[in-house]
Structure 1
């Protein structure tokens, strides 16, 4: 199947999904629908690894802010979170190869992957709070990966951190020189491909169950807060419109 904003290749037990909406790989609804369509074509049978990578200078600068407004936000959340639900259902080990900025939804996409290899030039951050909203998927996975205090700090400050700090707090597994990213990613994937696919998937399942981690239930609760309590507020509307208008938001809730 031909896609406009992504590429999908499957070979030797590895499905490689490449973001190619340059320069920043901003995730609009059309692109995310393609990602969901691509994931729907995959079967865990014979698949050991899902690798997510990107072309261009950024891994992804996040979800299109303009598609957060009005009724569109419901469609946006459905297709965006559909990516993670499909990744979860697939059940194989997921790897993100991050060459540049991973911000907002782009950071959430990388963080949701089981393993992350990053270029030393990569940056990670959730700046949603600066435009009057919060990142639902980061709210789900950050505390599990780095603990409550650091997770909340990154989410409520919107700070952007470098690859080495991301590694230090558990967001990234490996940091390499930019020119070594492709090789390092393939080395990691190669280790996984050399193992039993069934054992890999059961091992991942056991680790997740060992955490007593009901991500679907958690995501549903977070979605309800986001859509039913946050998005109807004046400040959410103001923050998003201010970003699009390139001006400082004027908050009404003190």
Structure 2
């Protein structure tokens, strides 16, 4: 945990080598995304993107009951009752929380332990990889609350087959971790009791890969998402690993039959 973080912070930040672990820390509200937490997430995402010593970002929720249940409906109700101006996603100051995570130019992993609903499910979608406990539940209930799932309605049909995405959006029903795995929404399902250890090992394994190569993959795949193949192949996005010290180290380590020592440059 960073020196500035306290246990009562809404977002905990912990550096583990070249990875930063961001923990949504409102377990009493199932890590609902209020304005303060959204702002902290944006700040942390920007900082992680800019720090050359951070190679992987892990996002999780505190408490073991939820990754996040999305927008804080109690706060919304209080604002409505007090006559506050309603907010519209993508048109407000807080709109950048999902974009900020989506645009981190390094591998991002969402660890879902329990509920990932509404904006919490959208936050998981903003990450590159998603792993879950076997009791995790996913859902986009906005159609049952009169809201619009602005980010999810764009991202979900790009992550899973369109018909399945539209079913999730239209009906707002919850799906299990096993179902989410079958349709390609998440990458792994592990027993709840083993989740922490499995994630630790997965992240440690990922950190043995060349960080500039991972960044190149992220930016090429993201920026060329809907480009024609011919244009995407000519896209020069992200760092060029072929010109890096790490490329030289990778070849040397292979010939010397040892693990490479990456420097991220």
Secondary structure (helix, strand or coil) at the match of 1:73 reads coil
Secondary structure (helix, strand or coil) at the match of 2:163 reads helix
- How far apart, in 2, do the equivalents of 1:75 and 1:2 lie? 28
1:49 and 2:49 correspond: no
From 31, 35, 44, the counterpart of 1:29 = 35
Deviation at residue 21 of structure 1 after TM alignment:
0.3
Secondary structure (helix, strand or coil) at the match of 1:194 reads coil
Instruction: Give a deviation string over 1:163-219, Cα, whole Å, max 9, x none.
Output: 000011111100010011111111221121111111100012222244327xxxxxx
- How far apart, in 1, do the equivalents of 2:124 and 2:176 lie? 14
Deviation at residue 76 of structure 1 after TM alignment:
8.7
Provide the aligned C-alpha RMSD in A.
2.0
Q: Specify the alignment match of 1:110 in structure 2.
A: 124
Q: Specify the alignment match of 2:18 in structure 1.
A: 13
- How far apart, in 1, do the equivalents of 2:177 and 2:89 lie? 32
From 162, 178, 184, the counterpart of 2:176 = 162
Query: Could you tell me whether the CA contact under 8 Å between 2:99 and 2:126 is conserved in 1?
Result: no
- How far apart, in 2, do the equivalents of 1:177 and 1:204 lie? 29
Secondary structure (helix, strand or coil) at the match of 1:161 reads strand
Instruction: Give a deviation string over 1:107-136, Cα, whole Å, max 9, x none.
Output: 111122111110000000010100112211
Q: Specify the alignment match of 1:58 in structure 2.
A: 66
Secondary structure (helix, strand or coil) at the match of 2:37 reads helix
> Could you list the runs of 5+ residues in structure 2 that have no partner in the other structure?
228-265
Query: Could you tell me whether the CA contact under 8 Å between 1:67 and 1:73 is conserved in 2?
Result: no
- How far apart, in 2, do the equivalents of 1:78 and 1:11 lie? 33
Which runs of structure 1 show a deviation greater than 3 angstroms over 4 or more consecutive aligned residues? 74-81
- How far apart, in 1, do the equivalents of 2:198 and 2:120 lie? 21
Q: Specify the alignment match of 2:263 in structure 1.
A: none
What is the number of equivalent residue pairs in this alignment? Answer: 213
Q: Cα gap change, 1:205/1:126 in structure 2, threshold over 3 Å: closer, same or farther?
A: same
Q: Cα gap change, 1:80/1:102 in structure 2, threshold over 3 Å: closer, same or farther?
A: farther
Q: Cα gap change, 1:169/1:128 in structure 2, threshold over 3 Å: closer, same or farther?
A: same
Q: Specify the alignment match of 1:130 in structure 2.
A: 144
Secondary structure (helix, strand or coil) at the match of 1:8 reads strand
1:2 and 2:5 correspond: yes
Instruction: Give a deviation string over 1:223-247, Cα, whole Å, max 9, x none.
Output: xxxxxxxxxxxxxxxxxxxxxxxxx
Which structure is richer in relative contact order (CA contacts within 8 A, separation 6 or more)? 1
Q: Specify the alignment match of 2:250 in structure 1.
A: none
| Structure with greater proportional helix content | 1
- How far apart, in 2, do the equivalents of 1:113 and 1:200 lie? 14
